[in-house]
A and B are shown apart, each in its own frame.
Chain A
Amino acid sequence: MSATESAKTGADPSHSATQDAATVQRGASGEKEFVQVHCSTVRFAGDSGDGMQVVGSQFADIASMTGLVVCTQPDYPSEIRAPAGSLGGVSGFQLSFADHEVHTPGDSPYVLIAMNPAALKVNLREVQPGGILVVNEDEFNETNLAKAGYAANPLTSGELSAYRVIPVAMTRMNEEAVRHLQLPRKDAARCKNFFALGLSLWLYDRPIQPVLEYLIKKFRKSLSIMAANGASLRAGYNYANTAELFHVQHTVAAAKLPKGRYRRVTGNEAAALGLVAAGYRAGRTLVYASYPITPASEILHELSKYKDYDVRTLQVEDEIAACVGAIGASFAGAIGVTGTSGPGLALKVEGMGLAVMTELPMVIFDVQRAGPSTGMPTKTEQSDLLMAVHGRHGEAPLAVLAAATPADCFAMAFEAVRLATKYMTPVIVLSDSFLSNGAEPWRIVDPDDLPDLHTPAIPSPEQFAPYRRDPITLARPWVSPGTPGCEHRIGGLEKTDITGAVSYDALNHQRMVNVRAEKIERIASDIPPAIVKGSGKADLLVVSWGSTYGSVAAAVSGLQEAGRSVDHLHLRYLNPFPANLGSLLKPYKKILVPENSMGQLCMLLRAKYLVDAQSLAKVEGRPFRVNELIKLIGDFLTVM
């Protein structure tokens, strides 16, 4: 997809911001009373052993299957095994679903399902005022309250008066629901997440049948567990119905989406699939060399499953080996790819310089996280932009792309391979922690509809010279070992133009620096132009890049609908910038650049285009919220 082209994003701010509060229709269908909403956000929270990720994903799948646009974001505890019931052990899964295109998992939940006091404590401040708290009251005993740091039981202390609290005896009712199966106590207790799922599916008028089908597939080998989870799910659903827990059901109409088959993908899954697809379309082996690092490791995990797709994954000894191993693979004619996060990108810097000098295709996936140093490994940030664009010794330009949404990681991974192989250059793709774990619907592509990535036929030995360039792209020929008659040597030393022989000649060096820069610049005319969403002549242009796309697009379109004079431009190509960017920026008196960094894109725009760009910086380890941006951009409009 082209993020810049997807116009309908976020709709009016009341949808994405206040969500369920925006009741548009109240009615009755048969005996059911329902409230129709455009968009809602739910968070499941419990102990890390409570299965919150499972039921969150199930809810997301069912919402997707019933036609909604769904974005999800897990929130794992940072400790591997924090003590049960402790604040550090709370695991969450948030999802937003809508009848229109959205690209954020929602600002704040309208419904919080809290399986214990710690889950309530950790997540309460995020919940919308007036929102619904579904709590497992059975777990609000003295021990658990103490572990969560509650002096008094919040269910009775009155401190939750701003919310609609719905206490449910989930533990006991689950036990009853599965009693007939005579499971060991522990196994029986573990089903209560499906009780919670049943409740929430009723609340949003979603069918439970697909969950039962999932259980049949998942627990084929353990019929009693399958039956128990199913029984618990039904019990939860029925209880919500008969006990009139929520007074009304909420319903969201199906979204109007482009036709096709869809699935949900996380950013890292999409990246892996995009790379596999690119290898397939290039007709080359894909070699992914990597060192485990949060939050990029899933790309390695995913790709290591695909051995039957001509994909070779190398888990190597360090980040440097990963980078130069990918370069070696590219020299040998494979598509060399490495993936990492900030600390690893720093270690790959020297290797990337080698790839620039040897003009070999290579892709570096940087799933950014909060830095510097070890920083906050599980938290998101966009602060590697300047390192990606400029962070090498010597004059070492390369292409830099950034995915806008989880599903866009597929497109950008593919695009990176296209540019790398066409221009014989390393390409960095910037993703981040937020995109890597977040999931959204992706319209499945037919790989044969994707661009053909085969490189031009290699020259005959008589015609061949390692640095004889294509006159249009300035790419040198990609001739790998095994090709008779074209034996040649390349390396990190400066090359003589055309012959590739080592050269310390002054004028040759200037010429080669120029040509390497020119080659990257030429990419600008081979990428989609930037698009302004809006009038093109508003008082303010908001420029975003990377994962802030979802919230910035929603915020700006909200402001536009409220009559404010503001346009939006989102960048997926950071180096080179799209060829038309300068002329698009020029008419604006003011430009505002919201980023999860201290203003790195803002600096690049000012430096390159001499425009009055202002930074809206946020480095809290989490993305902008839509409401937050509406306020910040609105305030900026008022005072500017």
Chain B
Amino acid sequence: MTSRGLDSNLTSAAAGAGWAERVVHGDRRALARVISFLENEDLQGVDTLKLLYPRTGRAHVIGLTGPPGAGKSSLADKLISELRHGGKTVGVIAVDPTSPFSGGAILGDRVRMQGWTGDSGVYIRSMGTRGSLGGLARAAHGAIQLLDAAGFDYVLVETVGVGQSEVDIVRVADTVVVVAVPGLGDDIQASKAGIMEIGDIFAVNKADLPGSKRVITEIEMMLDLGMHPYWRPPVVPTVAATGQGVADLVKAIQDHYAVLSTADRLRQHRLEREKEAVLLRLGERLRREILQAWSADRLSELWAALAAKEIDPYSLEDKLYHRWKGA
């Protein structure tokens, strides 16, 4: 196996070409390693994506989001099963939270998706959020593009267990499935902004539990109050533990894609996403550059001054910006 570092005789662009070639030819080890490059901000990752970008856009990207313990991973497992029965290949990105204290993580989504080793039509990758707050990993977007370029028919993205406002999944998925469960609150919760607004489909999982009918009704009523110009999100009861309702869920996912694919909606939807991703990366790059104008020591002095209220945060921002601008 190649070493993790870059061969000193090779530029990262040349290395990227090699990786891209291997990914396109279905080399899973290469796929796995390039995702690591993306996670570790190793330039070889982006250099691989630069070459593979023209091959993206063929996969249907499905997002699965919802509160912790709603059954996202179990539902993902059953979705893989249903899609595999239809002869389709599936790449999975499963995100779990990184500790803000240690930087470590327990990535446990695979526990619910154990049956797929040995099936070359399924690739599952666990990712930690590594400081990203919107429910996804920072490298998730790139990893999705990579799985798409590698030829998977579906890319399933499972977010961390979310609360109310972690909606980054809409920035990467064609179809967002919000997984709800009974017992988490009343119809006011269903009316709030945030994740309840981003569902293209609502799966009410654990539908065999008491209270599930009420949740279904509350979500239906919430949806009835909204405007749905071309797609009114369906509410699908599921029981991930038994697979009940999963065929209906797949049908809803495919119906949504069919509607998206007409009237240029999918292309526009994806363009918006890519634009936003470019702007986001540009912002991050600028911030890095602005901070690089200062030595680490000087920066920690400035943070200390902020802590001591010797400077206010707004003046500090001005100071940082003008130093860079003037430089």
Genuine A/B complex? no
